[in-house]
Structure formats: C-alpha cells, structure tokens
Structure 1
Amino acid sequence: MARIAVITHEFDRFQSRRGLLLRRDSPYMLFDLLEELKRRGHSVRILAGTAARPEADIAVLHVDATVTPAEYVEYARAFPFCLNIGATDISKRRVSGAVIGRGDGWQGPVIVKSSLNNLGTRKPEPFPRLEALDSYRVHGSLADVPTTVFDREDLVVEKFVPEPEPDGFGARFWLFCGERERCTRHVSPQSLVKGDDTIRREPVPVPDELRALRRQLGFDYGKFDFVMHEGRAVLLDANKTPGRARRLSSFVAAGNANLADGFEGLIRQVT
C-alpha cells in the first residue's frame, strides 16, 4: 500500500466538514478518487502549504491556480514522484488550440475569455488581483471585438466553434488519471455547453492528437474540454484540479473507481 501526499495551496479549501455529523466534503473530483484509494488501503495526507516534510511514495501537485507558484513546484520536486509536476501553467493563452490574434483571417464568430481558469476569478492573497469576467462574450466576428481586448494579457480571443447537433450544440470532456479515462460528448440547447444544461451525453473516443497534447502539457491527471472542428480536435480548456460531480450516481462512482485504477497504475510504476 502506498503513502499518498496531496500538495495544496495554503489558501485552497480542499476539504471541509459539514452537517451535524461533520462529514467531510470537497469541491474537487480528486477528493472522491482519494476516498476510493483509502478504501483500498492506501494512506492519504493533505498538505496545505510547503512547510511539512512527510514521508510519501507518491504526491499530487493539486494547487488550484492557473499558474502554480514556483515555491510549490520546487516543494513537489522533493517527493520521489509527483503527478502533474509538468502541468504548472494551464492558462488558455498557452493551452487553447482556438486562440487567435487581431490579424487572423478567421471569418466566423469569436469568444472573449479570461486567460485564467474559472472566468478569471481568483482566491485571496497572494494570488494577483485581476479584473474577473462575469461571463464569456461571443461576438459575430473579429471586427466586433473591442481593440482594447487585444492589448490585455489576461484576456484571449478564440474561434467560437461549438459542435452543431440537431438538438443543440456539443462539447467533449476527457477525464483521465494515468492510463484510465472516460470521455463523453455533452449536448446542450445552449451554444456555451455546460454540465448543468446537458440534455444528453454519450461516450466518444479520444483523438490521438489530444493524447499527444496531454503528454506535451505534462498532465498525469486532469480534465480536457474540447470540440471536433473540421475533422480535428480543438482543445479549449485544460484543468489540473477538476471539480467534483454535483450529483453522485452509479455512473460517477464507476468513473471514480476507474480513475483510481489509473492512479494505482502510476503507483506501481514508482514503488
């Protein structure tokens, strides 16, 4: 059995206690994966900040920030093996395959996003205080985008390319841990596809070019959001601290067990 260390930022709220029975809860998908690993006999320790120096066989760098602070990366390097130590910058300007500039020849609609994750919303200090977007903004063309947008480093302009479906629009979500994964296409009546307004979903294969991009970006565990456009995969977002499913179901439980199998596969590689 392995000793697992989870490295979180000192301001992250990875887990909390709620209810009369003080049951533990978390907004993160990794929480449920770790609960499954504990049921299998592995030990887990959550590390908030960089002060502790525990013995561990494997660690997970789970700092909920678009760019992981350098001191956390250095701290993670002290462990024998650490998941996602290569995935320290997930800004859309770096990972998105849809980003375009003001001189691009794209003729279709575009969308303005924060280069940071989660609409650019930030935690308390020491994270930078940046202006957050209240929502993504879709424009009919590049010409409709205010010129000031292109001068801001915290914003990106992307081609707006949702997958058209007879009953709405599609987007694809790939969850993975080691060699285990699940990939589904969600269809929504809204062109900005979110989990809450999904009317149907179906399993889909993972394109080879996305697997290559995952290796390039240094992801051992996480979630990629993408679409298929003109026969190729376009990565829109990469998340190294994906959120927890709001509705626990047999589908979600089976998915967590599958990802835990992938985590154990990584353990076997290093122990």
Structure 2
Amino acid sequence: MSRIVVITHEHDRFLGKRNLLLRRDSPYLLFDILGKLKRRGHSVRVQQGPSKAHSADIAVLHVDATVTSADYVDCARSFPFCLNLGASDISKRRVSGALIVDGDSWQGPVIVKSDLNNQGIPETLLNRRSKRAGKPPPFPHMQTLPPYQIYGSLGDVPDGVFERDDLVVEKFIPEREPDGFAARFWVFCGERERCTRYISPNRLVKASETIRREPVPVPDEMRERRRELGFDYGKFDFVIHEGRAILLDANNTPGRPKNLVKMFAAGASDLADGFESLIHRAR
C-alpha cells in the first residue's frame, strides 16, 4: 500500500466544510477517487500549502488555480513522484486549439472568454478566503471578469478585446444538433478514462445542463495534446470540427457537479484503478 499526499492551495476547501475525506461535500472529482483508494488500504493526506509537511510515495499537484505558482511546483518536485507536475498552467492561451488572433480571417461566430480557467472564479474564491484569514491575497491583481460572450462575427467583437491580457477570442465551434449543441468531455487518470458527448439546449454546453449523453471514443489528437500538456489526471473539453478534434478547455482539478454526483462517483473505481497504475509506474 502507498502513502498519497494531495497538495492543495493553502486556502482551498478540498475536503469540503466538514474536513473529512469520506464525506461527500467536496467539489472535486479527485475526492471520490481518493475515497476508493483509501478503502483499498492506501493512506491519504491533504497538504494545504507549499511547505512539505508529509512524506509520501506519490503526490498529486491539485491547486485549483489557472497557473500554479512556483512555490507549489517546487514543493511538488520534492516528492519522489507527483501527478500533473507538468500541467501547472491551464490558461486558454496555452491549451485552447480554437484561439483567434487579431487580424484573423475567420468568418464564423466567435466567443470571448477569460484567459483564466472558469472565468477566474477559483482565484477570486482563494483571494476571498485569504482575506478572511487575515493574509494577503494570492492573486492581488485579480479583476472581476465578464461572463463568456458569443458574437456573430469578428467584426462584432468590441474594440480593445484583443489588447487585453485577461481575455481571449476563440472560434465558436460547438457540434450542432437538431435540438441543441454538443461537446465532448474526456476524464482520465493514468490509463483509465471515460469520454462522453453531452447534448445541451444551451450554446455553452455544461455536463450539468444536458438533455442526453452518449459514450464516444477518444481521438488520437486529444491523446497527443494530453502528452504535450503533461496531464496524468484531469478533464479535457473538446469538439469535433470539420473532422478534427479541437481542445477547448483543460482542467487539472475537475469538479463533480452537484446534480451528477452519483454518476461521477460511479466511475471513480475505474479511475482509482488508473491511479494505482500510476503508483506502480512510479515504483
């Protein structure tokens, strides 16, 4: 059996409000995987902050922020083996395959997003909790970011957007269906995975707001992007556009939507098998 350490941000609530690993109030998918591993006899500890406080056979870098700061990365490097050490930057400018630059000739609709993951909400929450703890904000220059906005063409994008470092412009290329829009979500841990195509009535497809779903294969392009981005564990959101798989978002701390907790928990055992394969590889 192995000793596992999860490195989280100092002000993260990985364990939820009750601070117990086997409770089901954590917002993160990894919570379910670790619960399975704990029942199999592995020991699990959560380390909040970058100071190495525990020894372990394997660690997981699980900082819920778009860019993991250098002190956390250095801490992760001090362990014999650490998952997602190479996936410390999930900004849109690094991961998205649909980016548009100023002067591009794209003729279709576009979407303006934050460069930060999830509109910078994780960074905002960490700043807020840090303030309540009487400590300086970890992201002092954080601004309130607008919600994602879809425009009919590049000509409709407001002036100044391309000059902003905190926003990106992407091709808006969901997979269209007669009754809505579709996107594909690939969740993986080691060699274990599940990839699901979700159909939603909304143009911005979220797993929690869908009318149906179906399993789909993982394209080779996504496997190659995973290798390039250094992901051992995580979730990729992508679409098939003109016969090609296009990555839209990559998340190294995927969540578990409240209305889909049972479904996500049901797949945790398979992902835990993938985690154990990574432990064997580390040895």
Verify: 1:58 aligned to 2:58, yes or no. Answer: yes
Matched residues in 1 for 2:102 and 2:188: separation?
A: 34
Give the letter for the 1:32 counterpart. D
Verify: 1:151 aligned to 2:163, yes or no. Answer: yes
Quote the residue 1:130 is aligned against. Answer: 142
Quote the residue 1:8 is aligned against. Answer: 8
Matched residues in 1 for 2:262 and 2:255: separation?
A: 18
Quote the residue 1:225 is aligned against. Answer: 237
What is the DSSP-based 3-state SS (H/G/I as helix, E as strand, rest coil) of the residue aligned with 1:5? strand
Give the letter for the 1:257 counterpart. S
TM-score, structure 2 normalization: 0.91
Q: 1:68 to 1:269 in 2, by over 3 A?
A: same
Matched residues in 2 for 1:231 and 1:52: separation?
A: 46
Match of 1:139 among 151, 160, 163: 151
User: By how many angstroms is 1:126 displaced?
Assistant: 1.0
Match of 1:160 among 157, 172, 178: 172
Extract structure 1 runs of 4+ deviating beyond 3 A: 247-251
Tell me the percent identity: 68
Quote the residue 1:197 is aligned against. Answer: 209
Verify: 1:182 aligned to 2:198, yes or no. Answer: no
Deviates more, 1:24-33 or 1:241-250: 241-250
What is the DSSP-based 3-state SS (H/G/I as helix, E as strand, rest coil) of the residue aligned with 1:253? helix
**What is the CA deviation profile of residues 167-198 of structure 1, one whole-angstrom value per residue up to 9, with x for unaligned ones?**
21100000000000000000011111112220
| 1:1-271 mapped onto 2 (5 Å cutoff) | 1-18=1-18, 23=23, 25-121=25-121, 122=123, 123-124=126-127, 125-247=137-259, 251-271=263-283
**What is the CA deviation profile of residues 49-75 of structure 1, one whole-angstrom value per residue up to 9, with x for unaligned ones?**
122332200000001110000011111
What is the DSSP-based 3-state SS (H/G/I as helix, E as strand, rest coil) of the residue aligned with 1:147? coil
Q: RMSD between aligned alpha carbons?
A: 1.6
Contact kept, 8 Å, 1:17 with 1:23, in 2: the verdict is: no
Matched residues in 2 for 1:212 and 1:82: separation?
A: 20
Q: 1:120 to 1:149 in 2, by over 3 A?
A: same
Q: Which has the higher helix share?
A: 2
Tell me the number of residue pairs that the alignment of Structure 1 and Structure 2 aligns.
269
Deviates more, 1:142-151 or 1:240-249: 240-249
User: By how many angstroms is 1:18 displaced?
Assistant: 4.4
Q: Which runs of 5+ in 2 are unaligned?
A: 128-136
TM-score, structure 1 normalization: 0.95
Contact kept, 8 Å, 1:114 with 1:132, in 2: the verdict is: no
Matched residues in 1 for 2:211 and 2:179: separation?
A: 9
Contact kept, 8 Å, 1:224 with 1:236, in 2: the verdict is: yes
Matched residues in 1 for 2:34 and 2:79: separation?
A: 18
Matched residues in 1 for 2:148 and 2:17: separation?
A: 33
What is the DSSP-based 3-state SS (H/G/I as helix, E as strand, rest coil) of the residue aligned with 2:208? helix
Contact kept, 8 Å, 2:208 with 2:259, in 1: the verdict is: no
User: By how many angstroms is 1:35 displaced?
Assistant: 0.4
User: By how many angstroms is 1:132 displaced?
Assistant: 2.8
Give the letter for the 1:234 counterpart. I
Give the letter for the 2:5 counterpart. A
Quote the residue 2:131 is aligned against. Answer: none
Q: 1:36 to 1:245 in 2, by over 3 A?
A: farther
